Amino acid sequence: MASGGLAAVLARAALPVLQRLPPEPAHELALRALQLTRRAWRPPAASTRLAVRAFGREFAHPVGLAAGFDKNGDYLDALGALGFSHVEVGTVTPRPQPGNPKPRLFRLRDRHALINRMGFNNRGADHAAAQLRRAKFAGIRGVSIGKNADTPLERAADDYLACLRKLYGVADYFAINVSSPNTRGLRELQAADALTGIFESLREERRRLDAQHRRHVPLLVKISPDLEPDELRELCAALKRLELEGVIATNTSTRLPGLEGRLAEAGGGGVSGAPLTQRALGVLRELRAGLGPEFPIISVGGIMNAADAQARLAAGANLLQLYTGFVYRGAPLLGEILGALDSPPR
């Protein structure tokens, strides 16, 4: 694991200070600091043995950064300098929106978790597209897209189509977010019939965009960890029938035992981090069993250390994404995971 030099030393010293600030201002301050120091970072070395090919894309190694950290693509180069193989921007909506009222991000330090009810706060698809065109990051650029809060569910496909059109030339893959608990009714779109309607529209439009841009951009869907077994089986059947290129599992949870009171105190939202570790692992195993060995799966949710990462790959994940583990542990977590994956088995 490379230390990252002086930038890494400063980052490790700053982490305890940032964690004493309110979560959302601390997040913004950390991103600005990364932007200022990005040229000083030395990312951890990743052996070519860790390279992964999934849904037609080449990843330098399995570990990326999940959506939600850089909602607008403003910090793609700074985050890429840390050594992630891919960074997923967003969730982006067609029009800018402020999200839910603050405070809307909460730490559960005793559980190494976060509660968020952000509500897709972002500057809109035009802004994200401009930022991605400007960025120099050479890794894989994912874009999570969603619907505006004031768009009726029956017109949700229009919002996903608008994002697809505006961002097609700058994305390496799209994550269709139908699983955030923080936009009213959104999770209803995970039902097989609703998902079919959205993806058939997207697939038809993509044929036109493929020809226009002379490139093919894969479509993935991001799902909830709170699906019942029957719902998950129906979803697997729909994913295969629709010929989607991959699935991202999972988003945050609203149903983790023992945290009901904490969620109520926060005014709702979804939990990420260590309490989600086993739930996300279980969903991954069910997906792999239902989708077969070839269907690409990105596993996210509760990856807090190298052992968690290794468990996900052993359970059939092709790629991994960090979020809450990165919030609590910073860039050293990426180096720890890559070092463990590159070490010969004992």
Catalytic residues: 180
Handedness of CA 148, 164, 87, 320 (dihedral sign): positive
Task: List the structure tokens of 95.
Answer: 């029009």
Question: Which of 128, 240, 123, 220 minimizes the C-alpha distance to 174?
Answer: 220
Which residues neighbour 228 within 8 Å (Cβ) at sequence distance 6 or greater?
Answer: none
Task: List the structure tokens of 149.
Answer: 């809060």
Only one residue has tokens 């619907």, namely: 147
Taking CB atoms within 8 Å and a gap of at least 24, the contacts of 240-244 are: 240/291, 240/292, 240/295, 241/196, 242/195, 242/196, 242/199, 242/200, 242/203, 243/203, 244/199, 244/219, 244/220
Taking CB atoms within 8 Å and a gap of at least 24, the contacts of 99-106 are: 100/182, 102/24, 103/22, 103/23, 103/24, 104/24, 104/269, 105/23, 105/24, 105/27, 106/23, 106/266, 106/269
> What letter does residue 89 receive in the DSSP assignment?
E
Task: List the structure tokens of 45.
Answer: 């070395």
Residue 322 host element (H or E): strand 319-322
Contact status, residue 64 vs residue 321, Cβ threshold 8 Å: yes
Task: List the structure tokens of 63.
Answer: 């570990």
Question: Which of 308, 346, 298, 313 minimizes the C-alpha distance to 328?
Answer: 308
